[in-house]
Amino acid sequence: MPAVQETVERVRRIDVDQYRYGFETLIESDKAPKGLSEDTVAFISAKKSEPAWMLEWRLEAYRRWLTMTEPKWARVNYPKIDYQDLYYYSAPKPKKQVTSLDEIDPEILKTYEKLGIPLREAEVLEGVVRKDGEDAPVERRIAVDAVFDSVSVATTFKEELKKAGVIFMPISEAIREHPELVKKYLGSVVPTSDNFFATLNSAVFSDGSFVYVPPGVRCPMELSTYFRINERNTGQFERTLIIADKGSYVSYLEGCTAPQRDENQLHAAVVELVALDDAEIKYSTVQNWYPGNSEGLGGIYNFVTKRGDCRGKNSKISWTQVETGSAITWKYPSCILRGDNSRGEFYSIAISNGFQQVDSGTKMLHLGKNTTSRIISKGIAAGRSQNTYRGLVTAHRKATGARNFTACDSLLIGDKCGAHTVPYVEAKNSSALFEHEATTSKISEDVLFYCTQRGLSQEEAVGLVVNGFVKDVLQQLPMEFAVEAQKLISISLEGSVG
Amino acid sequence: MALLEIKDLHVRVEDNEILHGLSLTVNEGEVHAIMGPNGSGKSTLSHVIAGKPDYEVTGGQILFNGEDLLAMQPDERAAKGVFLAFQYPVEIPGVATMTFLRTALNAQRKARGESELLTPAFLKKAYEVAARLNVPRDMLKRGVNVGFSGGEKKRNEILQMALFEPSLCILDEMDSGLDIDALRVAADGVNALRSPDRAMVVITHYQRLLNYVVPDFVHVMSKGRVVKSGGKELALELEASGYTQFEDAA
């Protein structure tokens, strides 16, 4: 792990309260009028030049939403959100129709540069292993879709992906260009009526990524979306839909950041994954939304619905998440194991510091025969934060031979934080085999003293212990992300000791 | 100038005074044994030298190469050359021993203004030291002390001692929990590190260890003070007569 030393240096350079991505980009934007109404929904739909069926779909969701109430069961506290006091659509003002990167507002390109996200394909190609033969693996190449406030500003490697038959584009374009696919799959995993936040998203989502991998195709590169909330008082409601057709494979990464602001910002995304027979989807997230300052002021409210449907036999969906940001996290990436022999995985690192509140976990719903699932959750609480793992594992009456293994480990740093584990297990047939392990530990004074006696500072010691604690999960991340995540973990825990 | 000079040290834990005016001088190249019954303050002494929190020094001083050791954080003391081999080394799951050793060694080097060892140079050094101490490479890949036997844990301590090359080694009850074979292996490792520019303070309850690590000086502690000092023969005397006489003397 060569990054350990680098990590601790990085930590040393950073002052408490300094969120690395907290800058704001000054650009002109095009916004919907404040507040939510059928007009707002129609405004967004019109902005995206959507077909009538899409508007109808949204309006139905909106009407449904009006009848719903916010869920209250999670272990999070926040003041009531005034949904009429938000902007639901904000787009960087385009000078004209953008056809290449050169026409994108340079301020936005600069933003992504500062975030370390390569949008220019030439840069991404640097340092790439040269292709000798057809089969030579070209690693380290990542196709990026960048979403700025409500719109997708750039998608890289589109042409090359197209050659492989992979569709990777903003969902707003997919609605226009591939209506048959969108109609068939949108809302088929997370229905418009699913829950308060998902329904709200269905009504007002403005952009996000769409991926379709055709039968038998192994997507030739990692796909990635970076979400950035820039505009003040603006909610971000992105929608991601990934379909892996029979026998295909795709790995997808998602990263998120936001400027540092005193007021809270709402993020309510929906991600739907569909894996058909023998297909595999690997979905990784490094969530680093602004968490609020050391007094608990500001930060993102992150209410996200992520669900994967292993619709085909032998299909596999794997969620890996590193959650370090947001004032409030409400998020349960789940798998519906519908196909026989399908497999769901959930690997999670959730770190909370300061006044952050995390309520996160997963659901594994075993419907098909001989379905298996694995849950590895690592919660780390520091400062005055509260960190809850909430999980549900169920086996349907017909899901014979269902198996689950769950391990939830919590680590406490200091004595003002809390870690909570809320697992629900329901087996409706006697052949299901569910295992659950849970541990809670504290970084003890003895461990810290041992490390400092060997020459490590307190913070280096915490960084080392925490990186060891989360190792099982970090190993699940694609290489580049793992190194980044490791740095992020240490930075998130800055100021948590002594 | 002495390497370590402890003068009239008074130490409290919460409301109890554990050390009541302890003095000790250790020069380079010397091996000192500190013996005494349970509760005499031996381990407290080792912790205070290394800088463990929760001890309150209410009087006296500790000089290390003439510098005020008590004013330094534990990691600064380590970088200056103070090493404590723990009686109960902790486990750090998920952190490979090799990673731990490299991170710690480079932290010390950095604190001393030396350049960090790059991975190839570090590996060469670590494997060389491990081979010298008969530590299998496999042990270096495992999590720090995770699932190690008592003997392996102590060997890991000695391995670190050999790698960090401290000028003062404090060995806290290194014989506890070891069978005679494991004790011999550990003692061989310690003896290999004896050198004219390194001092050792060997803390032990039993004389047995001193058959293997033969000290230049023996001090008997009782109730928070050194009550008797002498040569290595003092240990044998204690073996025969026990600690009772000193408990009365204190």
Task: Flag whether residue A439 sits within 8 Å of chain B, measured between CB atoms.
Answer: no
Residues of chain A in contact with residue B119, where contact means CB-CB under 8 angstroms, are 2
Angstrom distance (rounded) from CA A316 to CA B61:
65
pTM value?
0.80
For residue A73, the tally of other CB atoms under 10 A from its CB is 8
Please give the C-alpha separations between residue A122 and each of A105, A114, A156, B4, in angstroms, as whole numbers: 19, 17, 10, 61
Candidate from B75, B95, B102 with C-beta closest to A452 = B75
Q: Do A455 and B78 touch (CB under 8 A)?
A: yes
Structure tokens at B115: 């350049």
Candidate from A446, A454, A465 with C-beta closest to B104 = A454
Q: Do B100 and A455 touch (CB under 8 A)?
A: no
Angstrom distance (rounded) from CA A327 to CA A321:
17
pLDDT score at A11: 39
Residues of chain A in contact with residue B50, where contact means CB-CB under 8 angstroms, are 449, 453
Task: Flag whether residue B50 sits within 8 Å of chain A, measured between CB atoms.
Answer: yes
Nearest to residue A353, comparing CAs of A388, A383, A329?
A383
- The backbone torsions φ and ψ at residue A127, rounded to the nearest 5 degrees and listed phi first, read 75, 10
The mean pLDDT of chain B is 92
Task: Flag whether residue A97 sits within 8 Å of chain B, measured between CB atoms.
Answer: no
pLDDT band at A35 (very low <50, low <70, confident <90, very high): confident
Angstrom distance (rounded) from CA B63 to CA B49:
10
Candidate from B53, B99, B108 with C-beta closest to A455 = B108
3-state DSSP assignment of residue A447: helix
Average the pLDDT over A87-114 and give the result. Answer: 63
Task: Flag whether residue A262 sits within 8 Å of chain B, measured between CB atoms.
Answer: no
pLDDT band at A19 (very low <50, low <70, confident <90, very high): low
pLDDT score at A405: 95
Residues of chain A in contact with residue B78, where contact means CB-CB under 8 angstroms, are 452-455
User: What domains appear along chain B, each with residue ranges and CATH number?
Assistant: 4-249 (3.40.50.300)
Residues of chain A in contact with residue B54, where contact means CB-CB under 8 angstroms, are 445
Residues of chain B in contact with residue A8, where contact means CB-CB under 8 angstroms, are 103, 107
For residue B139, the tally of other CB atoms under 10 A from its CB is 16
Mutate to test the interface with B, among A411, A454, A489 (most CBs of B within 10 A): A454
Residues of chain B in contact with residue A452, where contact means CB-CB under 8 angstroms, are 51, 73-75, 78
Strands (E), chain B: 4-13, 16-26, 31-35, 56-64, 67-68, 82-85, 92-96, 143-144, 168-172, 199-204, 217-222, 225-230
Q: What are the pLDDT digits (tens) for A391-415?
A: 999 999 999 999 999 999 999 988 8
Q: Angle, nearest 10°, between helix axes B119-132 and B97-111?
A: 110
Contact A346, A375 (CB under 8 A): yes
Residues of chain B in contact with residue A451, where contact means CB-CB under 8 angstroms, are 92, 104
Task: Flag whether pLDDT at A107 surpasses 70.
Answer: no
pLDDT band at A207 (very low <50, low <70, confident <90, very high): confident
Closest residue in chain B to residue A470, using alpha carbons only:
B94
Nearest to residue B2, comparing CAs of B51, B52, B67?
B67
3-state DSSP assignment of residue A106: helix
Task: Flag whether pLDDT at A326 surpasses 60.
Answer: yes
Task: Flag whether residue B198 sits within 8 Å of chain A, measured between CB atoms.
Answer: no
Range with top average pLDDT, A110-119, A145-154, B180-189: B180-189
pLDDT score at B102: 94
Distance from CA of B230 to the nearest CA of A (A): 30
Q: Do B103 and A2 touch (CB under 8 A)?
A: no
Residues of chain A in contact with residue B93, where contact means CB-CB under 8 angstroms, are 468-469
Q: What are the pLDDT digits (tens) for A130-154?
A: 333 333 333 445 666 766 665 665 6
Candidate from A1, A453, A469 with C-beta closest to B50 = A453
pLDDT band at A13 (very low <50, low <70, confident <90, very high): very low
Contacts of A191 (CB under 8 A, 6+ apart): none
Task: Flag whether residue A472 sits within 8 Å of chain B, measured between CB atoms.
Answer: yes
pLDDT score at A104: 62
Task: Flag whether pLDDT at A353 surpasses 90.
Answer: no
Distance from CA of A452 to the nearest CA of B (A): 5
Angstrom distance (rounded) from CA A65 to CA A195:
9
pLDDT band at A229 (very low <50, low <70, confident <90, very high): low
pLDDT band at B207 (very low <50, low <70, confident <90, very high): confident
Q: Do B116 and A453 touch (CB under 8 A)?
A: no
Distance from CA of B78 to the nearest CA of A (A): 5
Structure tokens at A41: 């929904």
Please give the C-alpha separations between residue A358 and each of A323, A387, A495, B128, in angstroms, as whole numbers: 9, 5, 19, 47
Q: What are the pLDDT digits (tens) for A143-195?
A: 667 666 656 656 667 777 888 899 988 898 899 999 999 999 999 999 999 99
Contact A2, A485 (CB under 8 A): no
Candidate from A449, A469, A471 with C-beta closest to B52 = A449
Task: Flag whether residue B52 sits within 8 Å of chain A, measured between CB atoms.
Answer: yes
**CB-side exposure of A396: number of CA atoms within 13 Å?**
16
Q: Do A454 and B86 touch (CB under 8 A)?
A: no
Complete DSSP assignment for A215-247: TT-B-SSEEEEEEE--STTB-B-BEEEEEE-TT
Task: Flag whether residue A407 sits within 8 Å of chain B, measured between CB atoms.
Answer: no
Task: Flag whether residue B118 sits within 8 Å of chain A, measured between CB atoms.
Answer: no
Q: Do A468 and B93 touch (CB under 8 A)?
A: yes
Q: What are the pLDDT digits (tens) for B236-246?
A: 888 888 887 77
The position carrying tokens 């619905």 is A305
Distance from CA of B153 to the nearest CA of A (A): 13
Q: Do B95 and A464 touch (CB under 8 A)?
A: yes
Lowest mean pLDDT among A338-347, B120-129, B180-189: B180-189
Angstrom distance (rounded) from CA A356 to CA A289:
11
Average the pLDDT over A408-434 and give the result. Answer: 91
Residues of chain B in contact with residue A459, where contact means CB-CB under 8 angstroms, are none
Angstrom distance (rounded) from CA A353 to CA A418:
10
Distance from CA of A456 to the nearest CA of B (A): 6
Give just the sign of the alpha carbon dihedral B161, B166, B172, B173: positive
pLDDT score at A260: 61
Contact B91, B143 (CB under 8 A): yes
- Of A90 and A3, which is predicted with more confidence? A90
Distance from CA of A415 to the nearest CA of B (A): 16
Q: Angle, nearest 10°, between helix axes A3-13 and A458-469?
A: 130
Structure tokens at A81: 């959100």
Closest residue in chain A to residue B110, using alpha carbons only:
A455
In total, the C-beta contacts within 8 angstroms joining chain A to chain B are 88
Nearest to residue A432, comparing CAs of A394, A385, A466, A471?
A394
Q: Do A456 and B104 touch (CB under 8 A)?
A: yes
Average the pLDDT over B82-86 and give the result. Answer: 96
Residues of chain B in contact with residue A454, where contact means CB-CB under 8 angstroms, are 78, 100, 104, 107-108, 160, 164
Closest residue in chain B to residue A446, using alpha carbons only:
B90
Structure tokens at B22: 């302890």
Q: What is the ipTM of this complex?
A: 0.96
Contacts of A182 (CB under 8 A, 6+ apart): A171, A174, A175, A210, A241
Residues of chain A in contact with residue B75, where contact means CB-CB under 8 angstroms, are 452-453, 455-458
Task: Flag whether residue A457 sits within 8 Å of chain B, measured between CB atoms.
Answer: yes
pLDDT score at B208: 87
Lowest mean pLDDT among A168-177, B99-108, B164-173: A168-177
Q: Do A451 and B104 touch (CB under 8 A)?
A: yes
Q: Which of residues 78-117 of B touch A (CB under 8 A)?
A: 78-79, 83-84, 86, 89-90, 92-96, 99-100, 102-108, 111, 116
Q: Do B86 and A450 touch (CB under 8 A)?
A: yes
